[in-house]
Structures are given as C-alpha cells and as structure tokens.
Amino acid sequence: MKLSDLKIIVTGAAGGMGRHFAVRLVEAGAQVAIGDVNEAGLAETVSLAKGPGKIHQKKLNVADEADGGAFVAWAEGAMGGLNGLINNAGILRDGLLVKKDKETGAVKKLTKEQWDAVIGVNLTGATLMVRDTVALMVEKGYKPGVVVNMSSVARHGNRGQSNYTAAKSALAANTVTWAREFASYGVRVGAVAPGMVETPMTQGMNPKARDALVAAIPVGRIGLPEDLWVAVKFVLECDYFNGRTIDVDGGLAM
C-alpha cells in the first residue's frame, strides 16, 4: 500500500515512537488521526507534522471501550475514510512478581493494580482498537487495509515485566490470529517488536538497569524511533507481509 493512500489511526501519538510515526506519515502524504491521553503532547505532535498529508487530533484512552469506539468513528469522519491502524499506545508498570528484601526478609508482590494497568492499555485496549477499526473497515468496505501492532522483544520473556511480557506476547500471537481472521476482508496484520528505543518511557527507567541493557545490545547503541519507523513503513507498504512479527532490537537478547 502506498503511504499517500493511507487514512490511518496512530495511538499513543503524544510522544516517542507514536509521534515519530505520525510525523513521518504526514511527510509521506498520508492522512493521520492521532490519539493519546496527553492532549498537550498531541498538540505538539500536530505542530511538528509538516508535509502534503493531513493530521487530526483527539484525546483517546484506549483502555476505555466507549472512548476507543468513539475515536474510531470520529477518525473515519475526520479523514473521510479509514484503512489503517498503528496500535502503539502502551505503558510500563514494572516489578518482580515476587521479591524478597535482602535486609528485612519482607516479601513484596507485584500488585494487581500494576498488572491491570498494563493489561488494560497494552492488551485489552490494543485489542479493542483492532476490533473497532477493522469492524468499521468491513462495514464500510474499506480495503485493502492494514494493522501494525507494536509488540516488544520483551514478548520472549523479561525479568521484572510479567505484565508487559504477557501483553506484548499476546499481541504478537494475535497478529497471526487476526491476519487469518481478516484475510477475507482484505486486511493485513503485522507486528513490530522494538528492543531498547530512545523514548520518554525508556528515559524514565532505572539508570543502572538502562545502562546494563544498552551494554548488552550487539550494535552498541540504543535504538531510535527512526529505526522502528523503517520497520513499520515496510509492514505498511509490503502487501505480501502478513501475520508476522519483526524484532527490531539491535540483536539484543533479553
């Protein structure tokens, strides 16, 4: 699919990778509907998006089913159609499932609130965005269509990220499921799994943990949003790519 033919939703577009994807899409001539809970960040993304395409912004909480459904309907109206989704919104609430304090012997557990928050945004919210976006495509006969799920190399398992790993591995598995389910409607589904990428989310990591991870990356550096854009662009443009996840991690093995 040509990027200039896209009328596409990008979630989590108030910063980081989502912002970068939206800016690149507008540069390529696409129409883009961006959503995030951070309205100030959305406005900044709009100010940075220059090119022949068009950008539309609206507050979006993907963890709220009604809000997500309303956003999809709004996006289709704002763009005069809908044929794509970059499922990028995500949060971190890291913690070991069980941790014993070395000094006191006290046992601390990952809280249900930590679990629910990550699953609510990164899995349930992401799934509902796919459901509602593709349902509208099918109802209105918009095809071909494409969905890009943002998974993570944490899908292979990562210490201290039980909630995040569960969500991102499920998204990668359901990329196959949805590719098979939506094929008859002319909708492809692919996924991109970032490793360490320079975003506000990773900048907020524990410095020692961040440095250790960067040191383990064979290419010798942290990833940049542009590295991930190259992979996302491939999924969008290659009409023969379907039902697979691309790890973009510099060779990192978690």
Contact yes or no for 252/213 (Cβ under 8 A):
yes
Q: What is the reported pLDDT for 243? A: 98
pLDDT one-digit tens code per residue, 117-151: 999 999 999 999 999 999 999 999 999 999 999 99
pTM of the model: 0.94
Confidence at residue 253, expressed as pLDDT on a 0 to 100 scale: 67
Helix extents (H) in 194-250:
200-203, 207-215, 225-237
DSSP state of 245: E
For residue 254, the model assigns a pLDDT of 60
Digit-coded pLDDT (tens) for 99-110? 999 999 999 999
Q: Which domain holds residue 111?
A: 3-248
Secondary structure of 66-90 in the HEC alphabet? HHHHHHHHHHHHHHCCCCEEEECCC
Catalytic residue set:
164
Tell me the per-residue pLDDT of 23-79, one tens digit each, with 9 for 90 and over: 999 999 999 999 999 999 999 999 999 999 999 999 999 999 999 999 999 999 999
Is residue 159 one of the residues assigned to a domain? Answer: yes
**190 occurs within a structural domain:** yes
Residue 106 lies in a domain: yes
- Domain assignment of residue 169, yes or no: yes
Q: Residue 46 sits in a domain of what CATH number? A: 3.40.50.720
144 cis-preceded (ω within 30 degrees of 0): yes
- Taking residues 150-169, what's their average pLDDT? 95
Residue 176 has pLDDT above 90, yes or no: yes
**Considering the chain, what is the average pLDDT of its residues?**
95
Q: Has residue 253 been placed in a domain? A: no
Q: With left for phi above 0 and alpha for psi between -120 and 50, is residue 157 left, alpha or beta?
A: left
Split into its structural domains, the chain has a count of 1
Strand segments, DSSP code E, in 52-203 are 54-59, 84-87, 98-100, 107-109, 145-150, 187-194
d(C-alpha 43, C-alpha 22), whole Å: 12
Classify residue 254: in a domain, yes or no: no
pLDDT at residue 126 in the model: 98
In this prediction, residue 96 carries a pLDDT of 97
Categorise residue 184: left if φ over 0, alpha if ψ from -120 to 50, beta otherwise.
alpha
Helix (H, G, I), strand (E, B) or coil at 59: strand
Q: Does residue 80 lie within any of the structural domains?
A: yes
